[in-house]
């Protein structure tokens, strides 16, 4: 049986009037009554576009030429913006990006949660470029182009042929071309599909994913690259759940960052989850702790705690913090960070947060305040039974406005009022929206 093909896409350019933006920053137009999502188009513009995909309920298109430009349109700083899929909003003036994200959060609250905060927080923002310290770089040997290292092309599985990236931290960006040239010299140049990069405050680590065992000649070249560029080198073999460091030899497999407002030094493995924007994370942790305002006699619950990014700051002010994470490796990392920072009033637990855990021994005494920092899927199950703890306040940190809004509606039904909310510019130039909200129990 042959593979089912989608509807044929016309190659004829079409004119579209753009009336709005999607949650991921694409323009919204209409063609004969059908919605069209248009890459690199802004509200108020008339564009000439080419259809790229036809779906049953909508079509997708890419801008060929802007006929009438929006006043908010700016020239993208990056020469690869039209091709690379790493960013989606460089054509929109930066302050307008933040306004768009604020409006999106407000609309999601109303649409999915039926709520609106009593107070909107001022946006938390810093520099618009050069902020990204973590990335998963794709690697591909391409005929007549050599080895490409970078992000995927827009609406494509191909790797964009880029020479630099404006959102990456400059110290990582400066290594993109040397990295590609080095990989070109390897015997296994077509067996390395990706390189994970992570940057602490004083070091950069490259984790090379390789499909076959590397020969000694290739390992020597990786060691030489690490030494010449002062980059830590890790190997991640396919089919193995181990990642091991090969340069510098005899050093621990840790990077670190500081949270200066709390005098904390956080250690992490290059493959651990950490925020890509260190400086914004430093401001975010302070904002979250200030909003929750833990007191010296209070017990706090931190859900989806990771390596303790919020748990340890909370512990500097609260009587006791119970930190819960799904992944046991992160629980171990949390204890590691607590010990390194001489903090003894925090307990870490691994638990399934998709089921009711209120009967667990460590949860039975209840909590005065709660912090939640879930993945994009949100904390639906948690919010359904969170009221049993009768916490006075809940701070919810979110990377997805839709699931935050949905969960806000649940918390409202459980007796919590949305007091404050706002966006944090964790991912400038992209459609990703980081936000924070404060809920208080109504008496």
Nearest to 381 by CA among 355, 405, 413, 351: 355
pLDDT of residue 88: 92
Confidence of residue 136 (pLDDT cuts 50, 70, 90): very high
pLDDT of residue 234: 98
Architecture of domain 134-255: Beta Barrel (2.40)
Give the predicted TM-score (pTM) of the model: 0.94
| pLDDT tens, residue by residue, 283-342 | 999 999 999 999 999 999 999 999 999 999 999 999 999 999 999 999 999 999 999 999
Q: Which two tokens stand for residue 42?
A: 């802004």
DSSP 185-216: TSTTTTS--EEEEEE-SS-EEEEEEESSPPPH
Report helix, strand or coil for 108.
helix
- Residue 4 clears pLDDT 80, i.e. is over it: no
Displacement of CA 365 from its chain's centroid (Å) = 34
Catalytic residue check, 78: no
| pLDDT tens, residue by residue, 269-299 | 999 999 999 999 999 999 999 999 999 999 9
Asked if omega into 82 is within 30° of 0 (cis), the reply is: no
- Residue 6 clears pLDDT 70, i.e. is over it: no
Contact 10, 49 (CB under 8 A): no
Average the pLDDT over 38-66 and give the result. 94
| pLDDT tens, residue by residue, 229-260 | 999 999 999 877 789 999 999 999 999 999 99
pLDDT of residue 1: 45
Contact 402, 108 (CB under 8 A): yes
**Domain positions in the chain:** 14-73, 98-127+277-441, 134-255
Q: Which of 84, 165, 305, 399 is catalytic?
A: 399
- Residue 410 neighbours by CB under 8 Å, 6+ apart: 380, 383, 384
Q: Where are the beta strands (DSSP E) in 241-368?
A: 244-247, 255-259, 264-268, 299-303, 320-325, 346-350
Confidence of residue 10 (pLDDT cuts 50, 70, 90): confident
Confidence of residue 364 (pLDDT cuts 50, 70, 90): confident
Nearest to 73 by CA among 36, 30, 31, 21: 21
Query: When comparing pLDDT for 399 and 239, which is higher?
Result: 399
* CATH ID of 14-73, from 2.40.50.100, 2.40.10.340, 2.40.50.140, 2.40.240.10: 2.40.50.140
**Fold match flag (14-73 vs 134-255):** yes
Architecture of domain 98-127+277-441: 3-Layer(aba) Sandwich (3.40)
Contact 374, 351 (CB under 8 A): no
Confidence of residue 5 (pLDDT cuts 50, 70, 90): low
**What percentage of the chain has pLDDT greater than the value 70?**
98
Distance between CA atoms of residues 81 and 345, nearest Å: 48
Average the pLDDT over 380-398 and give the result. 95
DSSP 114-177: S---SEEPPPB---SSS-B-EEEEEEEEETTTEEEEE-BBTTSSSBP--S--SSB-HHHHTTHH
pLDDT of residue 34: 95
| pLDDT tens, residue by residue, 164-203 | 999 999 999 999 999 999 999 999 999 999 999 999 998 9
Q: Which two tokens stand for residue 336?
A: 């590691």
- Residue 52 clears pLDDT 70, i.e. is over it: yes
Average the pLDDT over 128-154 and give the result. 95
Calculate the average pLDDT of the chain. 95
């Amino acid at each position: 049986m042959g593979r089912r093909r989608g509807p044929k896409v016309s190659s004829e350019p079409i004119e579209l009037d753009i009336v709005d933006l999607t949650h991921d920053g694409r323009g919204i137009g209409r063609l004969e009554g059908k919605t069209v999502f248009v890459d690199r188009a802004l509200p108020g513009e008339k564009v000439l576009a080419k259809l790229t995909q036809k779906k049953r309920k909508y079509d997708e298109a890419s801008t060929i030429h802007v006929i009438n430009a929006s006043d908010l349109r700016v020239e993208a700083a990056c020469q690869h913006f039209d091709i690379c899929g790493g960013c989606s909003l460089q054509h929109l003036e930066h302050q307008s990006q933040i306004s768009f994200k604020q409006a999106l959060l407000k609309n999601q609250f109303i649409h999915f949660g039926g709520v609106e905060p009593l107070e909107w927080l001022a946006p938390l923002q810093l520099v618009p470029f050069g902020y990204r310290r973590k990335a998963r770089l794709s690697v591909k040997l391409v005929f007549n182009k050599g080895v490409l290292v970078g992000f995927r092309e827009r609406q494509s599985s191909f790797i964009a042929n880029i020479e630099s990236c404006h959102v990456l931290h400059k110290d990582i960006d400066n290594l993109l071309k040397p990295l590609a040239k080095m990989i070109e010299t390897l015997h296994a140049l077509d067996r390395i599909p990706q390189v994970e990069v992570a940057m602490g405050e004083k070091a950069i680590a490259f984790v090379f994913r390789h499909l076959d065992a590397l020969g000694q000649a290739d390992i020597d070249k990786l060691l030489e690259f690490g030494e010449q560029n002062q980059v830590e080198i890790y190997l991640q073999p396919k089919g193995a759940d181990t990642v091991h460091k090969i340069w510098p030899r005899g050093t621990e497999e840790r990077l670190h960052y500081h949270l200066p407002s709390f005098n904390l030094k956080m250690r992490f493995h290059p493959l651990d989850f950490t925020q890509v924007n260190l400086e914004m994370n430093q401001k975010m942790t302070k904002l979250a702790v200030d909003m929750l305002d833990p007191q010296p006699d209070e017990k706090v619950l931190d859900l989806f705690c990771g390596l303790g990014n919020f748990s340890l700051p909370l512990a500097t002010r609260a009587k006791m913090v119970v930190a819960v994470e799904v992944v046991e490796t992160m629980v171990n990392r949390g204890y590691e960070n607590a010990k390194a920072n001489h903090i003894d009033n925090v307990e870490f637990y691994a638990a399934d947060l998709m089921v009711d855990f209120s009967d667990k021994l460590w949860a039975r005494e209840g909590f005065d305040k709660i912090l939640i920092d879930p993945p994009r899927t949100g904390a639906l199950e948690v919010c359904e039974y969170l009221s049993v703890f009768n916490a006075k306040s809940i701070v919810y940190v979110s990377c997805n406005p839709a699931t935050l809004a949905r969960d806000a509606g649940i918390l409202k039904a459980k007796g919590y009022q949305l007091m404050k909310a706002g966006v944090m510019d964790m991912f400038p130039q992209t459609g990703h929206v980081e936000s924070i909200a404060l809920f208080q129990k109504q008496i």
